Amino acid sequence: MRQAGRFLPEYRALREQHGFLELCKTPALAAEVTLLPIRRFPVDAAILFADILLILEPMGVGLEFAQGDGPVIHRPVRSAADVDALARVPAAEGTPFVFETIRHAQALLAGEVPLVGFAGAPFTLASYAVEGGGSRNYAETKKLMYGDARTWHRLMERLTEATVEYLQAQVSAGVDALQLFDSWVGCLSPDDYRAYVLPHMRTLFEALASSGVPVVHFGTGTATLLELMREAGGDVIGLDWRVDLADAWARLGAGVAVQGNFDPVALLASPDEIRRRVQRILDQAGGRPGHIFNLGHGVLPETPPEHVAALVDAVHELSAVR
C-alpha cells in the first residue's frame, strides 16, 4: 500500500515536474509510476497509480490536492440538495485516464506480476465528500448519518452505484484483482456499521461477484468490525497491525483469505527488527493458504527504501521454507 508513493526518490523527482492530479490524469506517466516499485523491489503485485478520490471529481465536488495539506473538496456534500446536485457521469467519461493507465501498465508489465485495481469504499468516500477533506472525528459525516439517515443512505447509494461501474470498467480494462479501501470505517461502532454501511457494502460485493477477479475488503481500526466486514463480502479481508493475525483469522473463519498485517511504522525500525516482525506474522499465518503478506496500511513517506527491500526479501525467504 502506497508502494508507488512518496518514499521513492524517483517518485519525488517526478512530482517536482508534475502535480499529483496531473500525474494521475496522464496515463503514460501514471503507468510508469505504477511500475516504479516493481522495478526496484521483487514485490509480487503492482497497484494501479491513482487515488480513491478521483471518482468524486466528475460528480462536481471540486477536488484539489493542496500542497502539504492533503485532499480538499471545495463543495462538501451535506444536505439532500447537495446529494441531488451530484452529477451522474459515466465512468468512461468521468475518469477515462484511469482505464487508459490500466491498459498502459498491463502492456508494460507484460504478465510479470498481477495488477491490482482499487476504489474507495462508499463510507470512506462519503467521509471525504461530507467533511470536505480528511478528518479526525468525522463530526460532519456522523451529523448527516445520525441527523438525516434518508439523505445519508441516498448518498451511499449514489457512491455505491458509481463505484460498481468504476470497478467493472477497471476489470474490463484489465486489472487482475480489486481492493476496496474502507480506510476510515474503524471510526464506527458495530451497530452503526450494521445500520449505515453494511447494506451498501453487500450491494457492492454482490455486484462485483460476477467480475471474475478476487476482491480485497480493506479497512483500518476494524478490530471490532471484522465479522461484519466478512458478512458484507470480499474474497480477502484486510487486517491492520492492531489485531493478532491468527486470532483475527480464527474469528473470520477458514473460508476467507486474509491480507496483512505489518505495522507500516515498524518499517522505520532496523532490518533485523523488520525481519523478526515478518517472522512473527508468518508464524501467525502458520503456512496456511490464503494469506497475502502486506502492510496493515500505507508506507510512510519517510520510510527508507532499503527497509522496504529488507521486508520484501524477508517475506520471500522466510515463507519459502514452508
Residues involved in catalysis: 2, 6, 15, 51, 128
Indicate the residue among 40 and 148 with the shorter CB distance to ligand CP3: 40
Report the alpha-carbon distance of residue 130 to residue 147 in Å, rounded: 13
241 counts as binding ligand CP3 under rule CB under 6 A: no
Distance of CA 148 to the CA centre of its chain: 28
Nearest to 179 by CA among 115, 251, 265: 115
* List of E strands, the chain: 46-47, 63-66, 70-73, 115-120, 177-182, 215-219, 236-238, 257-262, 291-295
Indicate the residue among 181 and 196 with the shorter CB distance to ligand CP3: 181
Q: What x/- string results for residues 36 through 55 when contact with ligand CP3 is judged by CB under 6 A?
A: -----------x-xxxxx--
β-sheet with 257-262: strand ranges across = 46-47, 115-120, 177-182, 215-219, 236-238, 257-262, 291-295
- Position among 174, 290, 298, 305 found at the interface with ligand CP3 (CB under 6 A): 298
Select from 2-10, 152-160, 201-209, 242-250 the region that touches ligand CP3 (CB under 6 A).
Answer: 2-10
- Position among 123, 166, 181, 241 found at the interface with ligand CP3 (CB under 6 A): 181
4 counts as binding ligand CP3 under rule CB under 6 A: yes
Contact at 8 Å (CB) between 298 and 5? Answer: yes
123 counts as binding ligand CP3 under rule CB under 6 A: no
Distance of CA 264 to the CA centre of its chain: 15
Select from 4-12, 102-110, 240-248, 265-273 the region that touches ligand CP3 (CB under 6 A).
Answer: 4-12
Q: What x/- string results for residues 142 through 171 when contact with ligand CP3 is judged by CB under 6 A?
A: ------------------------------
Indicate the length of the chain as a whole number: 322
Contact at 8 Å (CB) between 53 and 71? Answer: yes
Residues in the interface with ligand CP3 (CB under 6 A) total 23
Q: Which residue is nearest to ligand CP3 (CB)?
A: 183
Q: What are phi and psi of 223, to 5 degrees?
A: -55, -35
List residues binding ligand CP3 (CB under 6 A). 1-6, 15, 20, 47, 49-53, 65, 70-71, 118, 134, 181, 183, 297-298
